[in-house]
Structure 1
Amino acid sequence: MVEFIVDLNGNVVWKDKKFAVVFDDKKKCYELIHKSEERPFFCPALRNEEKVFFCEYAGEDRIFEVTRIELEGKVYYHHRMKTLKETISEFVECELISSKAGVGYALIIDNKILKSHNCEAGSYEEIKSKYKLLAEIGCYFGDQTGKVLVFSKEDSLTSKVDEAFKILRVIENSEVVGMLIYQDDYFVYVNRGAEKVTGFSKEELMSKPFWEFAHESVREVVKERGRRRQRGEKVEPRVYVIPFITKAGEVKYGLFWFDNIIYNGKPAGITIFFDVTERIESEELFKSLFFSSPIGQYILVDKKFEIVNSTFEKITGYSLEELRGKYWYELVHEEDREKVRRCAVEMLKGLRNEPYEYRAVRKDGKVKWILESVVPIRYKGKRAVLGNFMDITERKELEELNERLLEYTTHLNRMLRHDLKNVLSAISLSTELLKEQKVNEKLTELIEKSVSKGFEIIESAKESEEVLKTGKLKEINLKDVLTKIEECYENVEINAEEVVVLADNTIFNVLTNLVENAFKHGGAKKVRISVRKEDEFAVITVEDDGKGIPKEIREKIFDYGFSYGEKAGNGMGLYVVKKAVERWGGRISVSDSDLGGAKFVIMLGCVECLRKKHS
């Protein structure tokens, strides 16, 4: 047993001699016990509770008894940590004392009787010669006839009985921890947890041989080992997972701890068990998903590769055997290592949600672009990192190609606009001369309209260039964008929540394009823009009271070059709008508005909603 006292901040302010052996005493108590950087919500000290709780430490389930104490006006929590073995020993001792105290007991230290009651011997040697003692369990010996109990510790018998009963009550009343004692092939003790986990009543469990409740695949093994324990033999292993049958006929899995004890003066077997069905099934599901995932996945323990799936092997060119024992950074391009380390730490601490990109170096020396995200997990009882590793090399190459093409087309666009502007300006001057000379006024008017149309096309091409630029996605507050639009137009009504989306700065151009279309081409007198959240999306609605868009052409209005109506444009506006929305990962649709005109609906990823979903 280990004892220590902590303050309300989790600092260890007192410890016994065993503490330094079991723990590294330079950390907070929750770092030692719960393996957590922050005090967990179920921590008794945090919840101001006195309780007994189970917690895994060093691969073994431990029992922690927490007591609240006050010293000099300050509150502290006294912890006593025991193994299941120690707890069961005390429970059995308690049972024996309560049932056999009338027969006799002796408290023995260093082979000397310090205290006794109805003991038919005057010395330890007499006890040894008179009674055939069984193997030591915890802190007592018991003889085969149950006539004497021999304690080998100096603890007060009364306090030990009280403590044992306290632990017994916790286990006896637990609905999640099953405890069974079997003797002569039948259960002789059944706690509430065993009834709850199996679905059988105490009477039903006691009515059949103990092995009948095990699954048929392990029934003979359970029977053989259980009978050996009833004879007082030590049987290994003592902890393992076995399937069992519930009253409803379900096959479940339990983590069972077995040992042999003395119960009512006779050898018996004892088991404590937990239902781990969900854990087993989730582990099997995890393995299935991990190894069949089309995304590369890996698990790091102490910053080294522990396990990877076949997709990861394919991307990196390394086999699992070659990767095991390698540090994660050995696969990262030297120039990207610090960036990856920083991003991974932020993501593991919950300070970052977006995956990060970097260059990885394959076994053959080729460089791959990787999109990665990481989460903290526990693997085989240790802190670990689960990584999702996606090859985006092809996408990055296409992005680079698009950037080069966009740069070229932007340059070409500007040259053509410049040259066309010069030509149109010259024609416009010539038109002015023709007007002064009053030569063919109808022809002059036609030329003026054509020149004006040409300037509109130039301006539209300029706007399209701005919108189609591949800007890096970032968080945009829609309310800020809509405030600017409201300042530019008199008859625009804004009704928007505070919503942040993933887009770029050209979202202003996209929305003003829709507003301009409503006034200029739709004949609208009023435009209404609203924003709301729906699931993981921000829904932007732009609607007007104009003449609307006929149903028969709605599927075509986003096509390149399509235009309609007397005041039709050049057919580039809505095409550019759709391409921009798609680049942001969204979608756009058109329908009828309650105002009488057209209604455009844009759906984009809502940053807040996505974060809530992933958390």
Structure 2
Amino acid sequence: MAKTENSKKNGYIDSQPDMENDNSIYAYPNLSVNKDGIIVYANGDVSRILGYSRQELIGMEAAKFYFKPSERKKFLKKLYSEGEVHDYNLTFKTKDGKKVNCEIDMAVFKDSEGNVIGHTGILKDIKLETELRLKLEKDNKKFFSVLEQLPAYVCLYDNDRNIVYANKYLRQRFKKYKDKKCYEVFHGKDMPCEKCPILGVFSSGIPAVFQTVQLDNKTYEVHDYPFTDVEGNKLVLELGINITDRIKAEERLREANEALEIMNKVLRHDILNDLNIALNFCDLIATQDEDIKQRVMNTISKCVELIENTGELERAFNRKIDSNGIKLSDIRTKIKELSKNYPELKINTIGNCKIIVDESISTVFDNIVRNAKVHGKANNIDISLKKEGKNCEIWISDDGVGIPDKYKDKIFNEGFSQGPNKGLGLGLYISKKIMEMQGGEIEVRDNNPNGSIFILRFKSDDIHEIC
């Protein structure tokens, strides 16, 4: 108590008292002067502005720093008559005699008994404040310029899920976003999502990351963060990155991995079949029958060709059909090539149709015809080509024993094989995969009066690709 009384007598304030006052003049002062005009408190900001150390400032007369004494009288009169002043401009003199233009927010300071003991407040260097404000504005412009140029959308939500800020990317995607909820803008819904991640961030204060398909059918990786603006408002900051191409790339990678596995099976399957044919004729190699010799040589040559063409077949699996990179294939030419490999079969071709396919279609034809010969015991094969709207259909019909109904939904499965001449069960499975890679379909039906019909259906969104 003695110290406090002594402080009052000397006009000093030992420390800033705790006051329940939101006024920043009281809450965060940087300068206090007692009623006798003596500086009793000054922080580092005042020290920097005036050029004195804090130790030098404490106990000095405030009047010393006024560039014009008349300004001090005018200022104090206004301050003590009104109780406080704001944004009041004064010119002070620094330690080295230079002028410094300042802006002051001051209020009269009283003790607990209501007695005036001085004034306290905030002293600001106008030049520095201006420089800082300009720098802040420049930094803000730079920051918002970065947001505007981001190849991703950025927005802010209030607690009602209204978009209160949207960057250029978002504004260009959705022209009408103002005064709309997030679920209206991004999903075209009238009602909120069942589990709204934005509300989850508001309630938990924990960031959230998720993937979502939005109104324009693009897949976005969305990052939501709790955010508080300069005014203390609780918001959610959302960053959305378009990952549609990444998703497609990942899908292509999965397809490529599957294709590599299939390629290994294709190579083993086709070469094994042809080598078996060659081996069956080896016992007859001594014969003078030139036709048999030629068939053996053709079969072995085909095995070599299969290996050489593996790269081309692999590319057929690893890409989607590109009309700029693949020429129209004449199906009749492919069928003619097929007939050379099966001279014992009578293959008739009806109709004509050109479609965008790659060399792997030969593998499909070969597997179907071999299946008809080996398993179906067919002697004749009819191939019909016809255009059905945007589709081209190839019907491969045989006069063999046919395929029992109980096997029709299994013959395209990997590893399925039946009958006395069953093999690895890969031929028709591979054929189905090749058709799928080319955006087509394959199905099997009964032929009348006997045998089977395999239908290859090639689809196109462009009617001009089918002719």
Q: Bin the TM-score by the shorter chain.
A: 0.3 to 0.5
Higher percent of residues as strand: 1
RCO higher in 1 or 2 (8 Å CA, sep ≥ 6)? 2
Give the TM-score normalised by the residue count of structure 2: 0.40
